[in-house]
Amino acid sequence: MPIDPRVALQRFTDALEEHLAASRARRGENDPAVVEAYRRVADAFDAYDESLMDAFGEVTPLEVYEGDEDEDDLDDDDLDDDDDEASDDLEDSELDDPDEDAAEDLDDEDVEFESGPATPGR
């Protein structure tokens, strides 16, 4: 049975309040109370988002952060190889500083100078 979006919203805001209280009373980096409050926020948010979809066909623009799942699968060698491959694909001219190239293309005639202070409304 779908949950009323108002009820789900109230549970979500209650979970946020509990997370705030747990965060304030935190006892270390991985405090179990904060971790549990985080999980309750995530669960309450999911329930709220689902209730919006069920009732109105709408969702929020938010997502629950699940962490970087692939981060543990990569080692330093994998990251170095990707960088080497990307730079191999570029020509030397593509590695030039784009700001430097743009400045070379400008003539004094292309630049307009205003006299006096730059004050809005004048």
pLDDT (tens digit per residue) in 21-72: 999 999 999 999 999 999 999 999 999 999 999 999 999 999 998 887 655 5
Indicate the pTM of the whole model.
Answer: 0.55
Non-local (6+) Cβ contacts of 19 within 8 A are 34, 37, 38, 40, 41
pLDDT tens for residues 28-42?
A: 999 999 999 999 999
Give the pLDDT confidence of 73-103 residue by residue, as tens digits.
554 554 554 555 454 555 555 555 555 555 5
pLDDT top residue among 82 and 9: 9
Are the beta carbons of 37 and 12 closer than 8 angstroms? Answer: no
The whole-angstrom separation of Cα 56 and Cα 23 is 33
Shortest CA distance to 11 belongs to which of 35, 43, 34? 43
